[in-house]
């Protein structure tokens, strides 16, 4: 514990002095939303369907539904997903690919629009393997 304290103290002192710290121009302003989202996919009673609960930058959120997935009960597969805002208004839709990341119990998740990757994320199973929690970000390439 004491060793961790000294390491944290040393990094606090050394990093700003090393010139590796982000300068003020690269730090997002408080008014700019972070390019970070979160979605929780939960298996539906209908095979191949996932119910979604999502947020983007804690500024937008709502429900969603992914359909067309595998009937096997696995999260791994290709889906078509539609998201809505809290008021029920349509938000976005994507082709969704969920792949198992090996080694480990993690997943790589990709959202595709018109054949191009729109967002990427990483996830892990939670709630007795009934839900998949995914952190994601939009990509421009």
What confidence tens digit (pLDDT) does each residue in 61-83 have? Answer: 999 999 999 999 899 999 999 99
Whether omega for the bond prior to residue 103 falls within 30 degrees of 0, making it cis, is yes
Q: What is the mean pLDDT of residues 51-55?
A: 98
pLDDT at residue 105, rounded to an integer: 85
pLDDT for 98 beyond 70:
yes
Alpha helices in 1-141 (DSSP H): 2-18
pLDDT for 19 beyond 70:
no
102 vs 124, higher pLDDT: 124
Query: Which tokens in the block code for residue 68?
Result: 């067309």
The whole-model pTM stands at 0.77
Sorting pLDDT into bands at 50, 70 and 90, what band is 21? very low
CATH match of 35-138 with 2.30.320: no
87 vs 11, higher pLDDT: 87
What confidence tens digit (pLDDT) does each residue in 99-108 have? Answer: 999 887 899 9
C-alpha to C-alpha distance for 4 and 139, rounded to whole angstroms: 35
Query: Which tokens in the block code for residue 4?
Result: 């961790």
Cα–Cα distances in Å, from 41 out to 66, 67, 78, 119?
8, 11, 14, 16
Domain ranges of the chain: 35-138
Going by their DSSP bridges, the two strands 37-43 and 90-101 should be labelled as unpaired
pLDDT at residue 26, rounded to an integer: 56
12 vs 112, higher pLDDT: 112
The three-class DSSP label of residue 132 is strand
């Amino acid at each position: 514990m004491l060793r961790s304290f000294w390491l944290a103290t040393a990094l606090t002192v050394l990093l700003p002095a090393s010139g590796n710290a982000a300068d003020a121009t690269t730090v997002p302003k408080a008014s700019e939303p972070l390019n970070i989202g979160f979605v929780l996919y939960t298996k539906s009673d209908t095979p191949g369907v996932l119910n979604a609960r999502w947020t983007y930058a804690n500024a937008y959120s709502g429900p969603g539904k992914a359909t067309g997935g595998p009937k096997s009960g696995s999260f791994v597969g290709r889906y078509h997903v539609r998201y809505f805002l809290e008021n029920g208004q349509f938000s976005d839709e994507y082709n969704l690919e969920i792949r198992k990341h090996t080694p480990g119990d993690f997943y790589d998740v990709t959202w595709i629009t018109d054949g191009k990757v729109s967002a990427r994320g990483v996830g892990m199973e939670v709630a007795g393997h009934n839900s998949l929690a995914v952190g994601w970000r939009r990509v421009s390439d």
